[in-house]
């Protein structure tokens, strides 16, 4: 069964009238309100489901564990039959219970049976003593009491009871989730189809990595970076290549793109050669968001044939930050995974900065000796700083005086799934 969600509304990126510089939080909440999953549902066997997004709640078909069983190798018996005894000696019944090989008989009161880890508890057994605490011989097992009833056993369903919800729609399935689903009797899982994210570079000066480049030409750094980010976010990266600053070429590339959403970089300003914004404006479904963020302007959001287009800045650092801060949560929503806030940590700064009011700032940062240090330059063309960094320091919209030791918000790249 393939269920296709409705298209996005044409005005989904419109800003309220009068808005000029949009604060980051407002921009994020607009995205959050207006985007919804655009991917179809499908079923996959759980062997292929790691990293996929659940499209429905999962209900345990079976309890875990399905039966009461022993947690150790040892001897099982009924606790009531040795109540109050300090030293215990019980005759052993013939046979044993092992994992997957049940003991069919009933163990009479006052008797014990050899049990191995994982074995279902035989009838008449509710308690187990560990091998190491036992002496055996002459058909008997001896150990010291008192023994707590139920010791060294696992109750049926003590982890999960059949019929309970184990995971909710929107969950990005972890390896541990697959263990849980398998243990509770599930195999075919409802998931969303992977979100296909196209990545397109624009600009007359841009040449692909490895090609001969003349003076004044720039290697396409954004495309491999963005494709790699998409992959790490768990979506399907689709390389849409590079187009020159030519509106017809750009239009043709967007038209034929076999994707659900498009990330472009470059050409997003309002200049003569900024064809991404010009083209999207022609379709009437463009909002050039001037977000109060550094680095990261301009960011253009639009729809092309109903597909969201994120027009990222050309500068690699700005493109990277905008992708993490804006595109990532939006892509998560489009992919059915819901809106995810990156986990942030408050850490003391290892740097000084007199931050001006008016826009939020993201600094390339990393933690050393428990303090956040920042890259030596804030220049948004400094690609080496992205490579140096292991996270971002987020400074608030308002002014802030940072001195060594001042608590700052640190977002490790791991919080963005990198």
Q: Point out which residues bind ligand AMP (CB under 6 A).
A: 201, 203, 205-206, 218, 220-223, 265-269, 313-316
Output 140 or 269, the one with its CB closest to ligand AMP.
269
Residues 121, 76: contact at Cβ < 8 Å?
Answer: yes
Least Å from the CB of residue 204 to ligand AMP: 9
The CA angle 269-274-275, to the nearest 5 degrees, is 130
Closest residue to Mg ion using C-beta atoms:
203
| 224 phi, psi to nearest 5 deg | -60, -35
Q: How many CB atoms lie within 10 A of CB 314?
A: 26
| 197 phi, psi to nearest 5 deg | -115, 115
Least Å from the CB of residue 292 to Mg ion: 23
- What is the per-residue binding string for Mg ion in 247-266, x denoting contact by CB under 5 A? -------------------x
Residues 288, 277: contact at Cβ < 8 Å?
Answer: yes
Q: Give the torsion through C-alpha atoms of 82, 86, 91, 94, to 10 deg.
A: 70
Scanning 73-81, 166-174, 256-264, 267-275 for contacts with Mg ion by CB under 5 A, the matching segment is 267-275
Q: Does 313 bind Mg ion (CB under 5 A)?
A: no
Least Å from the CB of residue 238 to ligand AMP: 16
- What is the per-residue binding string for Mg ion in 145-184, x denoting contact by CB under 5 A? ----------------------------------------
The reply to whether omega before 220 is within 30° of 0 (cis) is no
Output 203 or 296, the one with its CB closest to Mg ion.
203
DSSP structure string for 137-185: ETTEEEEES---TTTTEE-TTSSB-TTSEEE-TT-B--HHHHHHHHHTT
Output 176 or 211, the one with its CB closest to ligand AMP.
211
Least Å from the CB of residue 223 to ligand AMP: 6
Least Å from the CB of residue 27 to Mg ion: 23
User: Which residues, numbered 188-217, are part of the site for Mg ion (CB under 5 A)?
Assistant: 203
């Amino acid at each position: 069964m393939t269920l296709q969600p409705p298209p996005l509304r044409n005005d989904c990126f419109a800003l309220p009238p009068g808005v000029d510089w949009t604060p980051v939080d407002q921009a994020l909440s607009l995205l959050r309100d207006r985007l919804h999953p655009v991917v179809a549902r499908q079923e996959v066997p759980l062997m292929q489901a790691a990293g996929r997004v659940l499209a429905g709640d999962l209900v345990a078909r079976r309890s875990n564990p399905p039966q009461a069983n022993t947690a150790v190798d040892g001897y099982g018996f009924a606790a009531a039959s040795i109540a109050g005894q300090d030293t215990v000696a019980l005759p052993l019944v013939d046979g044993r219970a092992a994992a997957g090989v049940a003991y069919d008989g009933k163990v009479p009161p006052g008797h014990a049976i050899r049990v191995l880890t994982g074995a279902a508890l035989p009838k008449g057994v509710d308690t187990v003593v560990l091998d190491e605490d036992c002496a055996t011989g002459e058909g008997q097992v001896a150990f010291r009491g008192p023994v707590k009833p139920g010791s060294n056993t696992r109750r049926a369903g003590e982890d999960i009871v059949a019929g309970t919800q184990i995971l909710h729609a929107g969950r990005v399935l972890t390896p541990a989730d697959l263990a849980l689903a398998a243990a509770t009797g599930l195999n075919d899982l409802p998931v969303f189809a992977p979100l296909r994210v196209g990545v397109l570079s624009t600009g007359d000066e841009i040449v692909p990595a490895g090609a001969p480049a003349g003076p004044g030409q720039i290697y396409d750094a954004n495309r491999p970076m963005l494709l790699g980010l998409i992959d790490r976010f768990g979506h399907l990266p689709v390389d849409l290549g590079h187009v020159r600053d030519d509106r017809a070429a750009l239009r043709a590339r967007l038209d034929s793109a076999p994707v659900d959403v498009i990330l472009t970089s470059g050409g997003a300003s309002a200049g003569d050669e900024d064809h991404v914004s010009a083209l999207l404006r022609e379709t009437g479904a463009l909002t050039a968001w001037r977000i109060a963020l550094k680095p990261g302007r301009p960011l253009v959001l639009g729809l092309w044939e109903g597909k969201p287009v994120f027009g990222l800045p050309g500068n690699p650092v700005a493109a990277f930050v905008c992708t993490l801060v804006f595109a990532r949560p939006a892509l998560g929503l489009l992919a059915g995974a819901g809106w995810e806030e990156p986990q942030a940590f408050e850490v003391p700064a290892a740097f000084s900065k007199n931050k001006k009011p008016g826009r939020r700032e993201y600094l390339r940062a990393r933690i050393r000796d428990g303090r956040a240090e920042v890259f030596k330059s804030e220049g948004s063309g400094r690609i080496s700083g992205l490579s140096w960094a292991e996270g971002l320091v987020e400074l608030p919209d308002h002014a802030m005086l940072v001195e060594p030791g001042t608590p700052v918000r640190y977002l490790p790249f791991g919080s963005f799934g990198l």
